[in-house]
Amino acid sequence: MYSDYYFIHGLDIYYLILVIPAVIFSMWAQSKVNSTFSEYSSHTTYSRMTGFEAARRILDANGLRHVNIERVSGSLTDHFDPKANVIRLSDSVYSSPSVAAIGVAAHEAGHAVQYAVGYAPIKVRSAILPACQIGSQISWPMIFIGLVMNSQFMINLGLVLFASVAVFQLVTLPVELNASNRAMDALAMSGSITDNELYGVEKVLKAAAMTYVAALAASLAQLLRLLLKLGNRNRD
Protein backbone atom coordinates (compact mmCIF):
# COMPACT_ATOMS: atom_id res chain seq x y z
CA MET A 1 0.00 0.00 0.00
CA TYR A 2 1.00 3.63 -0.62
CA SER A 3 0.87 4.51 3.08
CA ASP A 4 3.29 1.68 3.95
CA TYR A 5 5.98 3.16 1.73
CA TYR A 6 5.27 6.81 2.42
CA PHE A 7 5.16 6.64 6.21
CA ILE A 8 7.48 4.95 8.67
CA HIS A 9 5.90 4.79 12.13
CA GLY A 10 3.85 7.89 11.33
CA LEU A 11 6.76 9.87 9.90
CA ASP A 12 6.78 11.38 6.40
CA ILE A 13 9.80 9.65 4.83
CA TYR A 14 10.07 12.17 1.98
CA TYR A 15 10.09 15.00 4.49
CA LEU A 16 12.88 13.29 6.40
CA ILE A 17 15.14 12.59 3.43
CA LEU A 18 14.41 15.70 1.33
CA VAL A 19 13.09 18.65 3.29
CA ILE A 20 14.93 18.33 6.60
CA PRO A 21 18.41 18.22 4.97
CA ALA A 22 17.45 21.28 2.90
CA VAL A 23 16.30 23.10 6.04
CA ILE A 24 19.56 22.23 7.81
CA PHE A 25 21.52 23.48 4.80
CA SER A 26 19.54 26.74 4.82
CA MET A 27 20.20 27.24 8.52
CA TRP A 28 23.91 26.60 7.99
CA ALA A 29 24.06 29.02 5.05
CA GLN A 30 22.34 31.77 7.04
CA SER A 31 24.64 31.19 9.99
CA LYS A 32 27.65 31.30 7.66
CA VAL A 33 26.68 34.61 6.09
CA ASN A 34 26.02 36.15 9.50
CA SER A 35 29.33 34.99 10.95
CA THR A 36 31.32 36.00 7.85
CA PHE A 37 29.70 39.43 7.73
CA SER A 38 30.36 39.87 11.44
CA GLU A 39 34.01 38.82 11.04
CA TYR A 40 34.76 41.21 8.20
CA SER A 41 32.74 44.03 9.74
CA SER A 42 35.65 44.36 12.17
CA HIS A 43 38.17 44.71 9.31
CA THR A 44 38.49 48.38 8.42
CA THR A 45 39.71 49.15 4.90
CA TYR A 46 43.01 50.98 4.52
CA SER A 47 41.33 53.75 2.49
CA ARG A 48 38.48 54.01 5.03
CA MET A 49 36.07 54.11 2.11
CA THR A 50 32.49 53.60 3.34
CA GLY A 51 29.80 51.40 1.87
CA PHE A 52 28.06 54.50 0.52
CA GLU A 53 31.25 55.70 -1.16
CA ALA A 54 31.95 52.28 -2.69
CA ALA A 55 28.48 52.06 -4.21
CA ARG A 56 28.62 55.67 -5.41
CA ARG A 57 31.96 55.13 -7.15
CA ILE A 58 30.71 52.05 -9.00
CA LEU A 59 27.50 53.77 -10.05
CA ASP A 60 29.31 56.88 -11.28
CA ALA A 61 31.91 54.79 -13.15
CA ASN A 62 29.04 53.15 -15.04
CA GLY A 63 27.25 56.39 -15.85
CA LEU A 64 24.54 55.82 -13.24
CA ARG A 65 24.70 59.17 -11.46
CA HIS A 66 20.90 59.29 -11.49
CA VAL A 67 20.72 56.25 -9.16
CA ASN A 68 20.42 57.47 -5.59
CA ILE A 69 21.64 55.81 -2.41
CA GLU A 70 19.56 55.89 0.76
CA ARG A 71 20.09 54.68 4.29
CA VAL A 72 17.61 52.20 5.80
CA SER A 73 17.34 50.70 9.24
CA GLY A 74 18.12 47.11 10.10
CA SER A 75 20.97 44.72 9.44
CA LEU A 76 21.57 43.17 6.01
CA THR A 77 18.43 44.85 4.68
CA ASP A 78 20.40 46.18 1.71
CA HIS A 79 18.75 46.07 -1.71
CA PHE A 80 18.38 47.82 -5.04
CA ASP A 81 14.91 49.13 -5.93
CA PRO A 82 14.75 49.28 -9.76
CA LYS A 83 11.40 51.09 -9.79
CA ALA A 84 12.69 53.97 -7.67
CA ASN A 85 16.26 53.72 -9.02
CA VAL A 86 17.55 53.67 -5.45
CA ILE A 87 20.10 51.55 -3.63
CA ARG A 88 19.15 51.21 0.02
CA LEU A 89 21.98 50.41 2.40
CA SER A 90 21.48 49.27 5.98
CA ASP A 91 22.90 50.99 9.05
CA SER A 92 25.74 48.46 9.24
CA VAL A 93 26.79 49.15 5.65
CA TYR A 94 26.00 52.75 4.68
CA SER A 95 28.63 54.62 6.73
CA SER A 96 30.88 51.72 7.65
CA PRO A 97 34.43 51.56 6.21
CA SER A 98 34.61 47.80 6.81
CA VAL A 99 35.49 45.14 4.25
CA ALA A 100 32.05 43.57 4.75
CA ALA A 101 30.25 46.86 4.13
CA ILE A 102 32.23 47.51 0.95
CA GLY A 103 31.33 44.07 -0.38
CA VAL A 104 27.61 44.37 0.31
CA ALA A 105 27.38 47.90 -1.09
CA ALA A 106 29.31 46.96 -4.23
CA HIS A 107 27.03 43.96 -4.74
CA GLU A 108 23.93 46.17 -4.69
CA ALA A 109 25.60 48.55 -7.13
CA GLY A 110 26.18 45.48 -9.30
CA HIS A 111 22.41 44.97 -9.47
CA ALA A 112 21.93 48.56 -10.61
CA VAL A 113 24.48 47.98 -13.37
CA GLN A 114 22.65 44.79 -14.40
CA TYR A 115 19.45 46.75 -14.99
CA ALA A 116 21.33 49.48 -16.83
CA VAL A 117 23.00 47.12 -19.29
CA GLY A 118 19.91 44.96 -19.78
CA TYR A 119 21.30 41.80 -18.22
CA ALA A 120 18.87 39.11 -19.45
CA PRO A 121 18.43 36.96 -16.30
CA ILE A 122 17.43 39.97 -14.18
CA LYS A 123 14.84 40.90 -16.82
CA VAL A 124 13.45 37.36 -16.62
CA ARG A 125 13.38 37.50 -12.82
CA SER A 126 11.52 40.81 -12.85
CA ALA A 127 9.02 39.49 -15.40
CA ILE A 128 8.13 36.35 -13.46
CA LEU A 129 8.19 37.95 -9.99
CA PRO A 130 4.43 38.82 -9.84
CA ALA A 131 3.40 35.30 -10.85
CA CYS A 132 5.84 33.77 -8.37
CA GLN A 133 4.54 35.95 -5.55
CA ILE A 134 1.01 34.75 -6.29
CA GLY A 135 2.23 31.18 -6.57
CA SER A 136 3.94 31.27 -3.19
CA GLN A 137 0.72 32.48 -1.55
CA ILE A 138 -1.92 30.24 -3.10
CA SER A 139 -0.09 27.07 -4.19
CA TRP A 140 -0.60 25.22 -0.89
CA PRO A 141 -4.31 26.22 -0.57
CA MET A 142 -4.87 25.05 -4.16
CA ILE A 143 -3.27 21.68 -3.46
CA PHE A 144 -5.24 21.30 -0.23
CA ILE A 145 -8.53 22.17 -1.94
CA GLY A 146 -7.67 19.73 -4.72
CA LEU A 147 -7.10 16.93 -2.20
CA VAL A 148 -10.35 17.68 -0.35
CA MET A 149 -12.37 17.88 -3.57
CA ASN A 150 -10.42 15.02 -5.18
CA SER A 151 -9.71 17.35 -8.10
CA GLN A 152 -6.57 16.44 -10.01
CA PHE A 153 -6.85 19.69 -11.96
CA MET A 154 -6.66 21.76 -8.77
CA ILE A 155 -3.75 19.68 -7.47
CA ASN A 156 -1.84 20.07 -10.73
CA LEU A 157 -2.51 23.80 -10.78
CA GLY A 158 -1.20 24.07 -7.23
CA LEU A 159 1.93 22.15 -8.23
CA VAL A 160 2.54 24.45 -11.19
CA LEU A 161 2.19 27.49 -8.95
CA PHE A 162 4.55 25.99 -6.40
CA ALA A 163 7.03 25.12 -9.16
CA SER A 164 7.07 28.78 -10.20
CA VAL A 165 8.70 29.58 -6.85
CA ALA A 166 11.49 27.11 -7.59
CA VAL A 167 11.89 28.61 -11.06
CA PHE A 168 12.24 32.06 -9.49
CA GLN A 169 14.94 30.77 -7.14
CA LEU A 170 16.69 29.13 -10.09
CA VAL A 171 16.73 32.40 -12.06
CA THR A 172 17.77 34.39 -8.96
CA LEU A 173 20.96 32.40 -8.43
CA PRO A 174 22.84 33.54 -11.59
CA VAL A 175 21.57 37.08 -11.03
CA GLU A 176 23.12 37.20 -7.56
CA LEU A 177 26.35 35.53 -8.66
CA ASN A 178 26.71 37.95 -11.55
CA ALA A 179 26.13 40.96 -9.28
CA SER A 180 28.89 39.71 -6.99
CA ASN A 181 31.25 39.18 -9.93
CA ARG A 182 30.55 42.72 -11.13
CA ALA A 183 31.24 44.01 -7.62
CA MET A 184 34.56 42.15 -7.40
CA ASP A 185 35.65 43.35 -10.84
CA ALA A 186 34.69 46.96 -10.11
CA LEU A 187 36.53 47.00 -6.79
CA ALA A 188 39.62 45.36 -8.29
CA MET A 189 39.73 47.87 -11.17
CA SER A 190 39.20 50.84 -8.87
CA GLY A 191 42.38 50.15 -6.93
CA SER A 192 40.65 51.52 -3.84
CA ILE A 193 41.10 48.36 -1.73
CA THR A 194 44.05 46.07 -1.17
CA ASP A 195 44.33 42.46 -2.34
CA ASN A 196 43.75 41.21 1.21
CA GLU A 197 40.63 43.36 1.50
CA LEU A 198 39.41 42.09 -1.86
CA TYR A 199 39.86 38.54 -0.56
CA GLY A 200 37.66 39.42 2.42
CA VAL A 201 35.02 40.90 0.12
CA GLU A 202 35.05 37.67 -1.88
CA LYS A 203 34.47 35.60 1.25
CA VAL A 204 31.54 37.79 2.30
CA LEU A 205 29.92 37.58 -1.14
CA LYS A 206 30.48 33.82 -1.44
CA ALA A 207 28.83 33.31 1.95
CA ALA A 208 25.87 35.41 0.82
CA ALA A 209 25.64 33.41 -2.41
CA MET A 210 25.24 30.20 -0.42
CA THR A 211 21.95 31.50 1.01
CA TYR A 212 20.56 31.62 -2.53
CA VAL A 213 21.83 28.12 -3.25
CA ALA A 214 20.13 26.99 -0.04
CA ALA A 215 16.87 28.72 -1.00
CA LEU A 216 16.89 26.93 -4.35
CA ALA A 217 17.65 23.58 -2.69
CA ALA A 218 14.78 24.09 -0.23
CA SER A 219 12.31 24.92 -3.01
CA LEU A 220 13.38 21.94 -5.12
CA ALA A 221 13.22 19.60 -2.11
CA GLN A 222 9.67 20.66 -1.29
CA LEU A 223 8.63 20.41 -4.93
CA LEU A 224 10.11 16.92 -5.29
CA ARG A 225 8.43 15.84 -2.05
CA LEU A 226 5.07 17.02 -3.33
CA LEU A 227 5.53 15.31 -6.70
CA LEU A 228 6.49 12.03 -5.05
CA LYS A 229 3.74 12.22 -2.46
CA LEU A 230 0.99 13.09 -4.90
CA GLY A 231 2.33 10.69 -7.50
CA ASN A 232 2.15 7.83 -5.00
CA ARG A 233 -1.35 8.94 -4.07
CA ASN A 234 -2.48 8.62 -7.67
CA ARG A 235 -0.98 5.14 -7.98
CA ASP A 236 -2.55 3.95 -4.71
- Catalytic residue ranges: 108
The contacts of residue 98 (CB under 8 Å, 6+ apart) are 40, 41, 42, 43, 44, 45
Question: Rounded to an integer, what distance in angstroms lies between the CA atom of residue 193 and that of residue 4?
Answer: 60
Question: Rounded to an integer, what distance in angstroms lies between the CA atom of residue 129 and that of residue 121?
Answer: 12
Using alpha carbons, select from 120, 219, 90, 232 the residue that is nearest to residue 167. Answer: 219
Using alpha carbons, select from 116, 77, 115 the residue that is nearest to residue 94. Answer: 77
41-51 core/surface letters (b: 16 or more CB in 10 A; e: else): bebebebebbb
Question: Rounded to an integer, what distance in angstroms lies between the CA atom of residue 28 and that of residue 30?
Answer: 5
Judged by phi (left if over 0) then psi (alpha if -120 to 50, else beta), residue 128 lies in alpha
Report the greatest alpha carbon distance in the chain.
Answer: 68
